[in-house]
Amino acid sequence: MTLLFSWGWLGVMGVVWLGLCVGSFLNVVVHRLPIMLQRRWREDARSVLAEAGTEAGTETGTEAGTLAEAHTDSGSAAPFNLMVPRSRCPHCGHMIRAHENIPVISWLVLRGRCAACRGTISVRYPVVELLTAIASLAVIATFGFTPFGLAALVLTWMLIALTGIDFDTQLLPDQLTLPLLWLGLAVSVSFGPVDPTTAIIGAMAGYGVLWTVYWGFRLVTGKEGMGYGDFKLLGALGAWLGWPVLPGVLLIAAVSGLVWALVGMLRGQHARGQTIAFGPFLALGGWIALLWRDTLAALFLPGLALS
């Protein structure tokens, strides 16, 4: 906590405001990135189908025209990315104005409703903003305004984004997991809590452990127990924090995921055998390991000197 107040109350409020603003942007990422990926996948599929049809020469004139029309429509669509278009009400299309987009405050002033049509605005938006602010405060309180403290903020924000996306779509996009892995390795070379060797072994072990579990489960049951995004996320956490913390991360993820599933079943929200997103619980375990790395590793590997 002393590290947090090293810049006085101005520094604390700055971190809070930064966390709220980043949380607002993360809401956009969680909503738009899956849509952007789906559009890209459809465009790629159209291109492949068009090329395959042209090479094989098997398309009828109608089929070829349909493919060409679909390709043209996709190419002429309005831009859609993390910056444009501006946010709108999902009920009436009202463009959100600047004073209606102040993190948390605007939601409270509007009482969780659109200023134009009074449609409900999900409570999830201010919750993500507050969560991001609180998590950012915890990171700076632990590591201070240091190079690794700032890097840990980036890790925290990306874990929040991945959590939201996985809950919504059961996807962990490579566009987030792979940069997170490489960034963790880069941090280990510069100012990270682990040396490059420990980080590399952590990345390999994180990916390899879940890859082994996946294929073992598939060979025994014939079903897929998790997705490849989970492997990459645990590999990224291993790159950031080193291999010694991975048992603790997996234990926290497994226990919290089981509790979530049981509570969901008792409330009638999950059916027996229904799959749940595992990424959010890996993210939770990884973030706890970020703050209490030495303690967590010592529980599973007592006497090991972390570097």
For residues 64 and 85, is the Cβ–Cβ distance under 8 A?
Answer: no
pLDDT value, residue 189:
94
pLDDT band of residue 90 (cuts 50, 70, 90) is confident
Place of tokens 């002393």: 2
Angstrom CA distances, 33 to 49, 107, 189, stand at 24, 23, 30
CA distance 268 to 284: 24
Place of tokens 């090479």: 55
For residues 187 and 148, is the Cβ–Cβ distance under 8 A?
Answer: yes
Lowest mean pLDDT among 88-92, 196-200, 205-209: 88-92
With 80 as the cut, is the pLDDT of residue 172 above it? yes
% of the chain with per-residue pLDDT over 90? 56
Overall average pLDDT of the 237-261 stretch: 94
Overall average pLDDT of the 199-225 stretch: 91
Overall average pLDDT of the 43-63 stretch: 70
First to last CA, the chain: 23
pLDDT band of residue 72 (cuts 50, 70, 90) is very low
What is the rounded average pLDDT for all residues in the chain?
87
Q: What is the pTM of this model?
A: 0.87
With 90 as the cut, is the pLDDT of residue 26 above it? yes
* Displacement of CA 222 from its chain's centroid (Å): 28
Nearest alpha carbon to residue 209 among 270, 156, 254, 263: 254
Angstrom CA distances, 213 to 138, 218, 277, stand at 33, 8, 16
29-43 residue pLDDT tens: 999 999 999 998 888
Lowest mean pLDDT among 206-215, 278-287, 298-307: 298-307
pLDDT value, residue 67:
42
Q: Which residues contact 93 (CB under 8 A, 6 or more apart)?
A: none
pLDDT value, residue 2:
62
Task: List the alpha helices (DSSP H) in 145-194.
Answer: 147-169, 174-190
Overall average pLDDT of the 197-221 stretch: 93
For residues 35 and 80, is the Cβ–Cβ distance under 8 A?
Answer: yes
Which of residues 299 and 282 earns the better pLDDT score? 282
Overall average pLDDT of the 108-117 stretch: 90
- Cα dihedral 35→32→134→154 (10° resolution): 90
Overall average pLDDT of the 277-286 stretch: 96
**What stretch of H or E contains 233?**
helix 228-241
Q: What is the DSSP letter of 147?
A: H
Overall average pLDDT of the 249-274 stretch: 88
Overall average pLDDT of the 112-127 stretch: 91
pLDDT value, residue 93:
83
